[in-house]
Amino acid sequence: MKYRKRTASDFVFKEELGHGSYSTVYKAIDKHDLKRVYAIKVCSKAHIIREAKVKYVTIEKNTLNLLARENHPGIVKLYYTFHDADNLYFALDFAAGGELLSLLHKYRTFNEQLSRHFTIQLIDTVEYIHSKGVIHRDLKPENVLLDKEGRLMITDFGAATTVTKAELDGESRNDLNATNSTSSFVGTAEYVSPELLLYNKCTTSSDIWALGCMIYQFLEGCPPFRGSNELKTFEKIVELDYTWNPNKYATNVNGNSNKNINPMIIDTVRKVLVIDDNERITISDLKREPWFNGIDWNNKFDIWKGIFT
């Protein structure tokens, strides 16, 4: 069958799912296959040009296309892109479970089991992203969506950057100073790495830093470094000024509580939140942390099981 380019008229647009700085996302059904539900991101061409977002839209599209090739479950899949006179359209996997941040707000904190479930899926996905030469640069719970079974999908690659295989395999992963474009602040204050703040440097390890911030947030309910304004947040980051609340009353998904955070988790986060990115734990060492004992990282079925089924 000859491939026909999709257009907006191939879909029935349903409710709005949300909007971002340069797009609005709608739930949409494929008119030719009513069982296929997508999230279609609609970006107004005029708005993108006016707000100088062309670069971000282009990066997002190219990165999603690159990452979609291997069907990794942890990446929101881009199925079609098309445009008309007014808009650009991205037809994406519909994340029926919404944002991970909303789930976290609902439960206030995650218990150890749920934190481990999401952390394992994040590690597997971040490892995949890096293996393709991509640094996400804006990992945070808002950029993690959930399917209806509670499997996560990383989204929002508008701030991503790519590095060549040679750079990835280079002398040391820590010499990976992706591109000059990394020298400006991208990302979100609470998750930004100290090397970006101190040396305008962004490496694959900067994503691992953000991952460490998220693990902390799962258990404590807020990111480890948060000041009253961005500058104070940055000061806390470069001073590694964070503490665990020893008496935190955590309500887990079943409404039970666990007062004490497992020291193994605290130890894992300590190895991630290291100022010097040369000393920071690598993904492969992270996978060997005692908190993940019993996980067979090659058993994708086990890693990618849902939580709501």
The amino acid present at 62, given as its one-letter code, is: N
Binding site for ligand ATP (CB under 6 A): 17-21, 23, 25, 39, 41, 76, 92-95, 99, 145, 155-156, 158
Compare residues 17 and 135 and give the one whose CB is closer to ligand ATP. 17
Tell me phi and psi for residue 303, to 5 degrees. -65, -40
The helix or strand, by DSSP H or E, that contains position 59, with its residue range, turns out to be helix 54-68
Tell me phi and psi for residue 152, to 5 degrees. -90, 160
Q: How far is the CB of 66 from ligand ATP (least distance, A)?
A: 17
d(C-alpha 4, C-alpha 10), whole Å = 11
Q: Say if CB 268 and CB 295 are below 8 A apart.
A: no
Q: How far is the CB of 281 from ligand ATP (least distance, A)?
A: 28
Q: How far is the CB of 104 from ligand ATP (least distance, A)?
A: 14
Compare residues 78 and 261 and give the one whose CB is closer to ligand ATP. 78
Please give the structure tokens belonging to residue 306: 């849902």
Q: Say if CB 283 and CB 203 are below 8 A apart.
A: no
Tell me phi and psi for residue 219, to 5 degrees. -90, -30
Compare residues 17 and 178 and give the one whose CB is closer to ligand ATP. 17
Question: How many CB atoms within 10 Å of residue 120?
Answer: 19
Closest C-alpha to 201, from 174, 225, 219: 174
Report CA-CA distances (Å) from 217 to 60, 235, 250: 26, 19, 12
Q: How far is the CB of 61 from ligand ATP (least distance, A)?
A: 12
Compare residues 76 and 178 and give the one whose CB is closer to ligand ATP. 76
Rounded to a whole number, what is the largest CA-CA distance in the chain? 63
The helix or strand, by DSSP H or E, that contains position 47, with its residue range, turns out to be helix 45-50
Compare residues 20 and 263 and give the one whose CB is closer to ligand ATP. 20
Q: How far is the CB of 18 from ligand ATP (least distance, A)?
A: 3
Q: How far is the CB of 288 from ligand ATP (least distance, A)?
A: 32
d(C-alpha 121, C-alpha 135), whole Å = 17
Compare residues 40 and 283 and give the one whose CB is closer to ligand ATP. 40
d(C-alpha 274, C-alpha 254), whole Å = 33
Q: How far is the CB of 92 from ligand ATP (least distance, A)?
A: 4
Q: Which of 138, 156, 207, 277 is catalytic?
A: 138
Compare residues 95 and 273 and give the one whose CB is closer to ligand ATP. 95
Q: Is 138 one of the catalytic residues?
A: yes
In the complex, residue closest to ligand ATP by CB: 20
Question: Can you name the residues that pair with 25 across neighbouring β-strands?
Answer: 18, 41
* Torsion (CA) 139, 141, 146, 151 in degrees, nearest 10: 70
User: So which residues are the catalytic ones?
Assistant: 138
